Amino acid sequence: MNDFENLSISSAIEGLANKNFTSLELTEFFIKKIEKHNDLNCFITSTFDKAIEMAKISDQKIKENETRPLEGIPIGMKDLFCTNGVRTTAGSKILENFVPFYESTVSNNLWNSGAIMLGKTNMDEFAMGSANTTSFFGNVKNPLGSKVNKELVPGGSSGGSASAVSSGLCLGSTGSDTGGSIRQPASFCGLVGLKPTYGRCSRFGMIAFASSLDQAGPITKTVEDSALMLQAMVSFDKRDSTSSRQSIPDFSDYKKLSIKGKRIGIPKEYMIDGLNSDIKKIWDSGISWFKSEGAEILEISLPHTKSALPTYYIIAPAEASANLARYDGIRYGFRHNADDLNDLYEKTRGLGFGKEVKRRLMIGTYVLSAGYYDAYYLKALKVRKLISQDFEDSFKKCDLILTPTTPNVAFPIGEKQTNPIEMYLNDVLTVPASLAGLPAISVPSGFNSEKLPIGLQLIGKPFDEISVLGAGAVIEELRGF
């Protein structure tokens, strides 16, 4: 049997087209691999029968020359996307047995492009976490931990998706990013993670964490794969009132992009205290790669960067406190029976949600409650405006912004558990772009002394995913591995 472990989506498409192997062979390979690597805990639910069925259809389509863009490509689907007839949990006990009777737009688009579902990937409960340690179904391990003989976190919240791609259990996977949940795990697992512009991917059928921030995107091995998957995922969706009507480009056009003469901004505020020195070094290397390609490097200022994380930790929990009110044990999901309705509510939600979710629901409820709304929530909305304005001003001077993705590399499971804020600080470099709704990519750019991967982040103008992908490809080309 072929070893498909290091295969990219683009080379798999080529191999399938050239009849080097079939989709069924590919699919069966990954099924075996997933079974073998149960210890990583990447999947909450596997859908192997469905995968084989889909692979057979793909092989037929290939035979009949009716190949769709992702024909026969086995992927993982973050368990945040509702899948018709397949259990969807959002990593929570409260949805442990929930089986949707409808399909999210993003997953539907992928199946319509010929992609194959291997299973639903593990994640932080309701996407709240940065280490995939809050899942009701147990934490996910980062496969790269074996390099350093430690159990490392894969990052979060799309930890199962990242770990699965990194360990070669699937060719690519979907993630969702609210404050860094695609980019941070991609960086921790040595992968490309792309959060598109807010509004590019429909949120219909994607279980909501913070509606004004949530955005789906791909986690893949290469920039090219990201472009391929993104193309399949995006669409204007009339079932989502925040779905953009902007025209959808051919994302593979990033290949035509010349970085020469592009202005790359380096925000001085991202040089935060506690930024790992190896990461700083890689950031410098990144700057030099772009210089060597003829880009113009300029220092920029995003003065409200420091306020981004506190702003995020008001807005996201506030929205979540309403988004998660529907989990009440009445129409679906976990119910703790009681004779009194309020008891039923309180016990169901007290037992059905994990610690981190409850913490955020408490914060969110508090900042919206009478007497605190103006001081917290309204204030945060205003600061969000300032943060967004910072980017708008900067993009008058530059075309792209280059920063590290995370202040640190993947850390051991169990670390940063005592103080929630310590965990929150993981997202300090990814959250600003989320608040501004901008497209951003994390691309593996180097390693620390222990050979753990380090990602650099490129942030683009609204709806300019092409430049973000194009600049990402420059890093891929020049990073030297």
Site residues for other proteins, window 341-400 (CB under 8 A)? 341-342, 344-347, 349-351, 353, 358-359, 361-363, 365-366, 368-370, 372-373, 375-386, 388
In the complex with other proteins, the residue whose CB is nearer, 419 or 449, is 419
- Known catalytic residue at 23: no
Q: Which residue from 96, 328, 415, 476 is in contact with other proteins, where contact means CB under 8 A?
A: 328
Binding to other proteins by residue 248, rule CB under 8 A?
Answer: no
Binding to other proteins by residue 241, rule CB under 8 A?
Answer: yes
Minimum distance from residue 436 beta carbon to other proteins (Å) = 6
Angle 418-422-426 from CA coordinates, rounded to 5°? 135
With contacts defined by CB under 8 A, name the span among 62-70, 144-152, 234-242, 263-271 that binds other proteins.
Answer: 234-242
Minimum distance from residue 464 beta carbon to other proteins (Å) = 14
With contacts defined by CB under 8 A, name the span among 41-49, 94-102, 185-193, 469-477 that binds other proteins.
Answer: 94-102
Q: Which residue from 437, 444, 446, 472 is in contact with other proteins, where contact means CB under 8 A?
A: 437
Q: Which residue from 338, 415, 476, 478 is in contact with other proteins, where contact means CB under 8 A?
A: 338
- Known catalytic residue at 78: yes
Active site residue: 10, 46, 104, 181, which one? 181
Binding to other proteins by residue 96, rule CB under 8 A?
Answer: no
Binding to other proteins by residue 212, rule CB under 8 A?
Answer: yes
Active site residue: 10, 157, 167, 445, which one? 157
Minimum distance from residue 360 beta carbon to other proteins (Å) = 9
Q: Which residue from 67, 332, 415, 478 is in contact with other proteins, where contact means CB under 8 A?
A: 332
Minimum distance from residue 157 beta carbon to other proteins (Å) = 16
Q: Under rule CB under 8 A, which residues in 290-319 are in contact with other proteins?
A: 304, 306-307, 310-311, 313-314, 318-319
Minimum distance from residue 331 beta carbon to other proteins (Å) = 5
Active site residue: 10, 23, 46, 78, which one? 78
Minimum distance from residue 361 beta carbon to other proteins (Å) = 5
In the complex with other proteins, the residue whose CB is nearer, 48 or 372, is 372
- Known catalytic residue at 157: yes
Active site residue ranges: 78, 157, 181
